[in-house]
């Protein structure tokens, strides 16, 4: 009660003052009315101001009153220095917003625990070994029979869960007319129980739904998918969905928050692993293995036990494999199994973006430090201007702590204003980055909630930033010595030294930011300008399916139909497009020798595909419509180098060696120039193109279920024809469906998404860092010229030349910048080890990489020093001398 | 909360006692009342009276009210609250204990 009225009195301070004054006045009036002398009565009463203060102490919460006064005073200070405050708030807002944004992304992708019962007990499995070039490799794919053995061995210490790589797949509801894409994941039926998940509707999959291969056609859809695709329709239970030639019945909707165990992908449909076509194959690694470890179980013994089980399985499996080199066998069997915490799930996106995001966070952090240094310098300069005020406050009895509080309140106001602006920026920018890393065919979806985690980070950030830029100036202000300050002779050197140190730090950080973003930009530039061996312009890709299979002749007729459409230059067909990350590989045997350790890669293509792609034929000929697989192939230059030792292979034969010992002969009819097959970043793979007309053992032509039509358009925007093409295909033959349309350029761009993101953000942050450093430098120089006005004036009066004055003003700052550059350079060189995996054909030590940052900084320094120098030169000695 | 010292305590005691006898006095009247009742021996200084009044008001022992006097000026009048009454009896007991103790010391000396 009492505290409350005291707090309330803070807010009605003026009224309180009026009331106290009125009471005192009435007291004096009474005294006079009793006949006392007015002057004597007033003297006896004492100073009303002191009376007021004494009473206020009882009636007002003092600390709060002080805070209130500081807030009002701080606000006036900020308003008085409008431009400075706005610059400080804006630069802080930008940096803090970027920080929060980076935190949101990192948190969502890497830190946030999955919304399951005990995320800390979830673990992920991986295998580590060495490839044929003795480089360490890791893979997390498993074959189901191996998994089944491991699961049995792991009990009761842990329950193992199989979860396939979530795939964006064609599927249909109701009729085949409406084909759509959905994110499908095959998971162990018992996963939902193990993770402690409860259905929103219907039921979830159970262990009973995952026993017999092919016997459990049930699907569970995610809450998010139910909301978007079915508008929360409660009658969704019992709907059937078709996936290829399988039908599934929807039995339930998952819990609200659960979006799968792969951050970056929101799984939409969960199917039992038993329905996967490879579930009985011992040689197909198609799912991840996760484990929910029992409370109290220790990991290492479990790891050792499962490693033995899995190695044993692979050793058994490879027993029948002939012709495997000892080294390859060793790498396939003697791997190390690792069990790592998967509190926040496991996903490809985590692997792809972990390092990139950490670097972005680092750049953002550096920009924040630069902004803080800037604001600290601004505050120091302001504090210098207020030195007399501070001295006055100390001499009339203000305590040190009270002064620190006053300056910190100002800092807090700056930080809070910046945080408000920054949160708007963060609100917008985090989803923007997610959109940036999405590609049309693989939209990234990150759940980015603005909850207590983000809020908590924001609060810590505000406090940290406030202390970072506010504490030092506040402490300095409080140690003011009244006597010397009132005389106007406080030691200006120490303050300047402090500001110089800030400038050096700024320049060093700025150097690092510019250096790192230079590496990112060059990487992106070299990657996008890499020769790709084909022409990706005006190339439309129609991924097409024929659910019941169609003979190659029908596919070829469809190509003719498309070719006849207006605006089409040429049409060809392939199993899938280059750079769509699909791969088909096998060992290669020459002259009946052993299968190779290195794999050859395959792609089915139609005659004319090379022309449509504009790939250069180096020797031999293109396929004819009579060619078939097996027996003919066109190989690329790398294939020739690797398997034929560079000798022209046209007319020679190689064999595709299968794991089970069968060998498919291929006669080389042509050699084609190198082109990236799967990823732009990886070295060129040895590729053998084979005819899309496939024969089985008996020489019978096989039907094809899916393929991609490549349409080279005459117009520069091939997407304009997409809808027309889709309709045409459906009209021409009822059994064909276009499931996806994209351009080759999109596929190409999709592969440099991360590099583009890093380059864009790098340029942005480098620009911000340079701008902030420039502003900081300008502010400090301006301040030092103002401070040394008298000295400069006297020097000029004594005949100092203009060049000498300019040197006087800039020498110190230029030395500081040089020191900062050297420190930044050292930091840059030191950091390169951690950045190499993100770079493409760029060495951190390249001269141009090291030259760009100093040049950029030099330009900024010159433009920031020019105004201060000209100001120094415009000083009129006569005026200075007069004023002294 | 700090324990009030004897002197301050005695001012509190005087004010509370006066107000218990004559509720609705304003500051000046309290001052004169103390002077009159003590036969001009005790006088409350303005410098300590008002802070004491405001402190006791915040403590909830006395309540305040603005009244308009016949001369048109507003005055702030004070009266005892229930908490103030029990405070007064506690203060009185304490005063008696202290004064009798002091008396004993003076007699024995």
Q: Is the pLDDT of residue B2 over 60?
A: no
Task: Compute the distance between CA of residue A190 and CA of residue A207 in angstroms, rounded to an integer.
Answer: 5
Helices A13-33, B27-37: crossing angle, 10 deg rounding: 40
pLDDT of residue A1: 41
For β-strands A179-187 and A269-272, DSSP reports them as parallel
Residue B61 included in any domain: yes
Partner B contacted by A29 (CB < 8 A): yes
Question: Which residue of A lies nearest to B76 if distances are taken between CA atoms?
Answer: A23
Assess A26–B contact: CB distance below 8 Å, yes or no: yes
Arithmetic mean of pLDDT, B22-26: 85
pLDDT in tens, A215-251: 889 999 999 889 888 888 888 898 888 887 788 999 9
Report d(CA B63, CA B82) in Å as an integer.
Answer: 10
Least confident of A409-423, A466-480, B51-65: A466-480
Give the per-residue pLDDT at B1. Answer: 35
Q: Which residues of A touch B28 (CB under 8 A)?
A: 26-27, 30-31
CB contact under 8 A, B46 and A51: yes
Measure in Å the smallest separation between the Cα of B107 and chain A Cα atoms.
Answer: 38
Across the interface, do B73 and A29 touch by the CB < 8 Å criterion? yes
User: Which residues span the domain enclosing B43?
Assistant: 6-108
pLDDT tens sequence across A617-668:
888 888 888 887 888 889 998 888 888 888 888 888 888 877 666 788 888 8
Is B87 contained in some domain? Answer: yes
Residue A269 has pLDDT above 80, yes or no: yes
**Residue range A288-308: average pLDDT?**
90
User: With an 8 Å Cβ cutoff, are B75 and A26 in contact?
Assistant: yes
Within a domain: B36: yes
Average pLDDT, chain A: 83
The reply to whether B102 falls in a domain is yes
For position B31, which CATH number holds? 1.10.10.10
CA angle A369, A373, A374 (to 5 degrees): 115
State whether B59 and A2 contact (CB < 8 Å). yes
Residues in chain A: 884
| Percentage of chain A modeled with pLDDT above 90 | 8
Answering whether pTM is above 0.80, one says no
Segment A680-708 shows an average pLDDT of 84
Region A88-98 average pLDDT: 85
Query: Across residues A137-162, what is the average pLDDT?
Result: 89
For helices A492-528 and A847-873, what crossing angle results, to 10°?
140
The mean-pLDDT minimum among A443-447, A535-539, A549-553, A663-667 falls in: A443-447
Q: Specify whether the backbone of A471 is left (phi greater than 0), alpha (psi in -120 to 50) or beta.
A: alpha
Judged against a pLDDT cut of 70, whether residue A3 lies above it is answered with no
Q: Which residues of A touch B60 (CB under 8 A)?
A: 1-2
- Which residues of chain A make contact with B26, given a CB cutoff of 8 A? 23, 26-27, 30
Best probe of the A interface among B32, B43, B46, by most A CBs < 10 A, is B46
ipTM of the complex: 0.81
> pLDDT tens for residues A768-820?
889 888 888 887 788 778 778 888 888 888 888 888 888 888 888 888 889 99
Chain B residues with CB under 8 Å of A10 CB are none
Q: Decide if pLDDT at A178 tops 70.
A: no
**A185 pLDDT exceeds 50?**
yes
Quote the number of domains for chain B. Answer: 1
Helix, strand counts (H, E) of chain A:
27, 23
Residue B5 binned pLDDT confidence (cut-offs 50, 70, 90): very low
Q: What is the 3-state secondary structure (H, E, C) of A839-861?
A: CCCCCCCCHHHHHHHHHHHHHHH
Q: Does B1 map to a domain? A: no
Q: pLDDT for A627-641, tens place per residue? A: 878 888 899 988 888
Give the pLDDT confidence of A340-364 residue by residue, as tens digits: 888 888 877 777 788 888 888 888 8
**Nearest residue on chain A to B59, judged by CA atoms?**
A2
- pLDDT at A162 exceeding the cut of 90: yes
The pLDDT of residue A487: 63
pLDDT at A251: 93
CA A241 to chain centre: 34
Query: What residue ranges in A481-562 does DSSP mark as E strands?
Result: 539-550
- Cis? peptide before A33, omega within 30° of 0: no
């Amino acid at each position: 009660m009492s505290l409350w009225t005291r707090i309330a009195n803070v807010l009605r301070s003026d009224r309180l003052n009026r009331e106290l004054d009125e009471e005192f006045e009435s007291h004096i009036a009474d005294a006079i009315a009793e006949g006392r002398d007015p002057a004597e009565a007033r003297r006896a009463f004492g100073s009303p101001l002191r009376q007021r203060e004494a009473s206020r102490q009882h009636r007002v919460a003092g600390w709060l009153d002080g805070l209130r006064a500081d807030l009002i005073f701080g606000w006036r200070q900020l308003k008085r220095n409008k431009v400075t405050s706005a610059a400080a708030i804006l630069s802080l807002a930008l940096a803090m917003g970027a920080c929060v944004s980076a935190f949101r992304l990192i948190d969502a992708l890497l830190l946030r625990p999955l919304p399951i019962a005990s995320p800390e007990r979830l673990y992920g499995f991986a295998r580590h070994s060495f490839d044929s070039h003795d480089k360490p490799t890791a893979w997390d794919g498993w074959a189901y029979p191996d998994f089944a053995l491991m699961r049995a061995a792991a009990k009761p210490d842990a329950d193992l869960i199989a979860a396939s790589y979530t795939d964006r797949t064609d599927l249909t509801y109701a009729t085949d007319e409406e084909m759509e894409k959905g994110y499908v994941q095959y998971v162990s039926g018992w996963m939902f129980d193990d993770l402690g998940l409860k259905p929103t509707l219907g039921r979830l999959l159970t262990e009973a739904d995952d026993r017999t291969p092919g016997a459990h056609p049930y699907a569970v859809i995610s809450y998010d998918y139910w909301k978007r695709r079915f508008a929360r329709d409660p009658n969704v239970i019992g709907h059937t969905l078709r996936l290829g030639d399988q039908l599934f019945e929807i039995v339930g909707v998952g819990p609200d928050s659960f979006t799968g165990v792969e951050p970056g992908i929101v799984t939409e449909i969960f199917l039992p692993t038993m329905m996967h076509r490879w579930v009985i194959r011992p040689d197909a690694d198609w799912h991840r293995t996760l484990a929910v470890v029992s409370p109290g179980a220790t990991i290492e013994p479990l790891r050792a036990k499962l490693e033995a089980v899995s190695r044993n399985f692979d050793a058994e499996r490879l027993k029948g494999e002939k012709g495997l080199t000892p080294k390859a066998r060793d790498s396939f069997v003697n791997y190390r199994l690792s069990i790592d915490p998967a509190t926040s799930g496991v996903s490809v996106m985590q692997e792809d973006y972990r390092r990139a995001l950490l670097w972005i966070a680092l750049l953002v952090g550096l920009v924040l430090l630069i902004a803080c240094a800037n604001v600290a310098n601004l505050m120091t300069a302001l504090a210098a201007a207020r030195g007399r005020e501070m001295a006055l406050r100390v001499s009339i009895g203000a305590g040190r702590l009270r002064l620190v509080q006053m300056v910190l309140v100002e800092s807090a106001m700056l930080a809070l204003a910046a945080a408000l602006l920054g949160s708007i920026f963060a609100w917008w920018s985090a989803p923007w980055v997610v959109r940036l890393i999405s590609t049309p065919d693989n939209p990234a979806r990150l759940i980015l909630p603005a909850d207590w985690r983000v809020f908590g980070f924001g609060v810590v950030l505000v406090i940290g930033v406030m202390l970072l830029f506010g504490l030092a100036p506040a402490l300095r202000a409080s140690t003011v010595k009244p006597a010397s300050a009132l005389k106007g002779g406080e030691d200006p050197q120490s303050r300047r030294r402090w500001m110089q140190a800030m400038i050096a730090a700024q320049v060093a950080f700025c150097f690092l930011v510019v250096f790192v973003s230079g590496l990112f930009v060059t990487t992106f530039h070299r990657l996008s300008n890499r020769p790709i061996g084909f022409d990706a312009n005006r190339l439309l890709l129609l991924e097409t399916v024929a659910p019941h299979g169609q003979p190659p002749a029908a596919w070829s007729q469809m190509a003719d139909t498309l070719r006849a459409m207006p605006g089409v230059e040429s049409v060809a067909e392939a199993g899938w497009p280059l750079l769509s990350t699909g791969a088909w590989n096998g060992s290669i045997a020459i002259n009946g020798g052993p299968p190779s350790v290195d794999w050859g890669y395959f792609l089915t293509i139609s005659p004319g595909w090379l022309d449509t792609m504009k790939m250069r034929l180096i020797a031999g000929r293109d396929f004819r419509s009579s060619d078939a697989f097996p027996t003919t192939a066109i190989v690329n230059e790398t294939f020739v180098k690797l398997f034929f030792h560079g000798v022209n292979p046209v007319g020679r034969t190689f064999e595709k060696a299968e794991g089970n010992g069968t060998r498919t002969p291929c006669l080389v009819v042509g050699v084609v120039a190198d082109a990236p097959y799967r990823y732009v970043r990886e070295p060129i793979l040895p590729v053998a193109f084979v005819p899309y007309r496939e024969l089985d053992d008996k020489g019978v032509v096989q039907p094809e279920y899916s393929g991609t039509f490549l349409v080279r358009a005459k117009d520069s925007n091939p997407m304009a024809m997409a809808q027309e093409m889709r309709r045409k295909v459906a009209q021409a033959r009822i059994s064909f469906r276009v499931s996806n349309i994209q351009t080759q350029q999109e596929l190409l761009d999709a592969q440099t998404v991360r590099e583009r993101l890093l380059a864009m953000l790098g340029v942005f942050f480098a620009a911000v860092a340079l701008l902030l450093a420039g502003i900081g430098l300008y502010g400090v120089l301006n301040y030092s010229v103002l401070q040394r006005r008298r000295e400069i004036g006297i020097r000029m009066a004594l005949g100092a030349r203009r060049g000498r004055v300019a040197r006087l003003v800039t020498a110190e700052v230029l030395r500081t910048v040089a020191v900062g550059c050297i420190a930044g350079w050292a930091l840059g060189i030191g950091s390169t080890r951690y950045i190499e995996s993100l770079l493409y054909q760029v060495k951190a030590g390249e001269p141009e990489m090291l030259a760009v940052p100093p040049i950029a900084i030099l330009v900024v320094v010159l433009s920031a020093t020019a105004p201060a120098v000209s100001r120094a030169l415009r000083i009129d000695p006569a005026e200075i001398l007069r004023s002294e | 909360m700090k324990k009030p010292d004897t002197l301050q305590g005695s001012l509190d005691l005087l004010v509370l006692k006066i107000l218990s006898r004559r509720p609705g006095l304003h500051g000046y009247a309290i001052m004169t009342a103390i002077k009159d009742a003590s036969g001009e021996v005790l006088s409350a200084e303005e410098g300590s009276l008002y802070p004491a009044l405001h402190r006791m008001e915040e403590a909830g022992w006395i309540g305040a009210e603005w009244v308009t006097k016949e001369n048109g000026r507003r005055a702030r009048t004070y009266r005892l609250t229930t908490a103030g009454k029990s405070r007064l009896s506690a203060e009185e007991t304490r005063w008696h204990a202290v004064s009798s103790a002091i008396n004993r010391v003076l007699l024995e000396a």
